Copies of this chain bind each other. A is one copy, B any other.
Amino acid sequence: MAKPASRPLVYVADEPDGDPTQALTPERIKAASRRHPGLFDKFRFAYGADPKRADPKHLAEAEIVLGVAFDPLTLRAQAPKLRWIQSLNAGVEKLAPKLDPSFLLTNASGLHGPKGGEFGLTCMLLLNHAVQRFVGSQRRHEWTPVYTTPIEGKTAVIAGAGALGQAVARQAKRHRMKTIGINTSGKPVAGFDRVVKAKDMARILPSADFLVVTLPITRATENLIDRKAIDLLPAHCGIVNLGRARVMDYAAMAERLRAGTLAGAVLDVFDPEPLPKDSPLWDVPNLIASPHAGVDDGSVYVARGLDIFAENLRRYLGKRKLKNLVDLAQGY
């Protein structure tokens, strides 16, 4: 075993004010260490006393930061030895554009699959069965039945055919839905009946019974689902956004929901978050606001994230290419 002083320092930067189920606690890191015997001892771990502020003493030594709580500028100024940041988020849009390209950034893409796919299906099913209308009527004490039909054979257009999009497609296939993916290349992806290039999406949006957005926010996806795209969706279409808010023109969507020319929406992501108290989005008819909890699994999220981190610790020691490496130029 390496001498203590030569062991690389991992600085654990827990998200401040996060949910306890998502916390990077010493206990959870100890549990991960037990799942990967002999690995974590090859590193030193340090925790800042104040999770909101980087501890300069630790930063000065850190080769690795686990978590994303610190400002990229602080990292650049105060962490001369830093080489790699492992985020436990899938979306790293706040970090990636500001990082020095010499840093390695890895994310937690793939963690959201089992829970996120199921949540995506849940949203389609509840929209299919008009639950968004029932909860609206319920507020007004109104009894307004809507006789819906099974989801089998209906079409899910899934914008983003990455890990989360594929998980949603797999769940849709369990219910014999048609699945059309949208990505950059238009190349086939498992679980999708068809994949079309983003630039050709106007051709398929009119056939969407559901539009499910699973895209990260990048220069290429910002406002990709713009007013023109939204206007191509049929009136019975339901919208789900599990990706990032700014991929989609929420104002255009809200207009159609208010006009009654879209069936409904379940949005799990907003900009900013938390959604401000006075946001008009809270009260848009047939819109269900989910507080960015749809794709994170309360029981296993941190544990699975730490397993990705452990795999990367192994690769880091072996000087091999890290898993889930983010292309800083592309942003995902």
Q: Residues of A with Cβ closer than 8 Å to B?
A: 19, 21-22, 114-115, 118-119, 121-122, 125-126, 128-131, 134-135, 137-139, 141, 143-152, 174-175, 273-275, 277-279, 282, 288-294, 296-301
- As for how many copies of this chain the complex holds, the number is 2
Query: Contact: A297 with B147, CB < 8 Å?
Result: yes
Return the chain B residue nearest A297 by Cβ. Answer: B149
A130: contacting residue among B134, B152, B293, CB under 8 A: B293
Query: Contact: B138 with A288, CB < 8 Å?
Result: yes
Query: Contact: B292 with A134, CB < 8 Å?
Result: no
Bound CA–CA A135/B21 (angstroms): 21
Knowing A19-B145, A275-B143 are in contact, say whether A129-B291 is a contact too (CB < 8 A): no
Query: Contact: B143 with A273, CB < 8 Å?
Result: yes
15 contacts between A and B (CB under 8 A): A21-B147, A114-B152, A118-B125, A125-B125, A126-B126, A131-B131, A131-B290, A135-B135, A137-B291, A141-B282, A143-B275, A145-B292, A146-B293, A147-B296, A149-B299
Query: Contact: A293 with B138, CB < 8 Å?
Result: no
Q: A122-B126, A138-B288 are in contact. List 8 more A-B contacts (CB 8 A).
A: A114-B152, A118-B129, A119-B129, A141-B278, A143-B291, A145-B291, A146-B298, A147-B296
Bound CA–CA A289/B134 (angstroms): 7
Please, which residues of chain B bring their CB within 8 A of the CB of A293?
130, 145-148
